[in-house]
Amino acid sequence: MTRPARLNGDRLLVVWSLVALFAVSVLLAQRPHSLGYDPENQKQGSSQYSSPLGGKAFFTLLGRLGDRPARQTRVLDLLPRDAHELLVLGPSDALLPDEAAGLRDWVARGGTLVACPRLAPADAPPDPILSTFGLEAVLRPDRESAVRGSLVAVDHRDHRSYALRVFQGRRFKPSGNDSRSVALADDEAGWVVGMVPRGAGRLIAIADPDLYSNRGISRADHVEFMVRLSEACSGGGPICFDEYHHGFKEGQSAVAVLWDSPLRPVLLLAVLATFAGVFASGRRLGPAVELHEDRRRRPSEFIDAVAGLCRKLRAGPQALSLMLAEFRLHLQESHGASTPEALERISARAGLAPAAVGNFLEQATRLSKAPAVDDHALLSCCRELESLRTSLRRSPLERTPS
């Protein structure tokens, strides 16, 4: 039975360093207090937040009343089949024109869209939902006012008048001459809550988020007004709160959750510090690897290899012809010429008999052209040729007397 492999000390050091850094990062990182922590009011209307402008209290109340509230965390095209009401309340990410057009088709098939766009400056582009349903926003000075609301246009059995306290400096008005569009609550500045029929459904547009927010849901008759409105429009189906455009998207990975949290800069610093520490300490992450440098070959090894190839192919005469050609090239480069007259002159200057040198070269030339030559004769000729090369390189004074 084989023994299980063990981590060496260097690898254990790296692993435990990473674990320790992650633990310290989790303990020291800035963490949100809860889903109610929203200091910049970026999640207005989200049913996940208990901050002043969140909608968690309204969502929780509907659940306790048995009205089947549900959070829509996928694209709006994937609404449940039995859903007849969708609340798009102060989305953090503005809807695209294509999404608004899709909601218009869904409303025309019998759905009820309850929408409250985020408050925007006067020079901001119009909200896609308002533009699609023929409404425009009118800004007015921020001041609190009391208005009366009615749900008769939505539920013909509800004849009660609701007292509403609104503060948002915005009102709506229809941009066309649709006689079926009515106000559910308004004042001299415009609509606070209005209804725009489209096909078999309708849009309920809300100007003031305090009607459903955690801060204002308990004021005046806001609770009863919003609950009655939601129950009258749901048709017994789920009341869907759009959370997709608040950033709560179904199927987020753990990496995406960490990346969107305050832990992101801490984790990046921890990873950089870990790699910097490993490389700075010079620790290797595995066993030492022996370096094998290529050994430089000696010239004699190449000569032996060529000689072995020539012997195997029986190419001795060809090898001798190559040596003769190289010898003539040496004469040309070293002495300026390789002709027979130049060879006689060079031989005489080196103290050699020119006739003997000429006879030897003629004999070597005949051997290089012969079809078959004895190996010993070839070897002897090559040795004499190298000896002649050495003799021609030395002066007579350097030659050893025989």
Residue-wise pLDDT for 368-391, tens only, equals 777 777 777 777 888 888 888 888
Query: What was the pLDDT predicted at 105?
Result: 92
Q: What 8-state DSSP symbol labels residue 235?
A: T
Query: What was the pLDDT predicted at 15?
Result: 75
Quote the pTM value.
0.56
Query: What was the pLDDT predicted at 191?
Result: 87
Query: What was the pLDDT predicted at 398?
Result: 42
Q: What is the DSSP string of 200-224?
A: TEEEEEES-GGGTSTTTTTSTTHHH
Residues in the chain: 402
Query: What was the pLDDT predicted at 240?
Result: 92
> Could you tell me which of 207, 101, 99, 112 has the C-alpha nearest to residue 155?
112
Contacts of 50 (CB under 8 A, 6+ apart): 34, 35, 36, 56, 57, 214
Q: What is the token pair recorded at 195?
A: 């209804």
pLDDT profile of the chain (402 residues), mean per 10: 53 73 63 59 78 87 90 86 90 87 91 87 80 84 81 88 85 80 86 90 89 87 91 89 83 59 76 74 67 69 70 74 82 78 81 82 80 75 81 56 43
Alpha helices in 88-137 (DSSP H): 97-108, 128-132
Boundaries of every domain in the chain: 9-29+261-281, 56-257, 299-398
Give the architecture-level CATH label for domain 56-257: 3-Layer(aba) Sandwich (3.40)
> Could you tell me which of 210, 202, 204, 164 has the C-alpha nearest to residue 186?
164
Query: What was the pLDDT predicted at 282?
Result: 63
Query: What was the pLDDT predicted at 401?
Result: 44
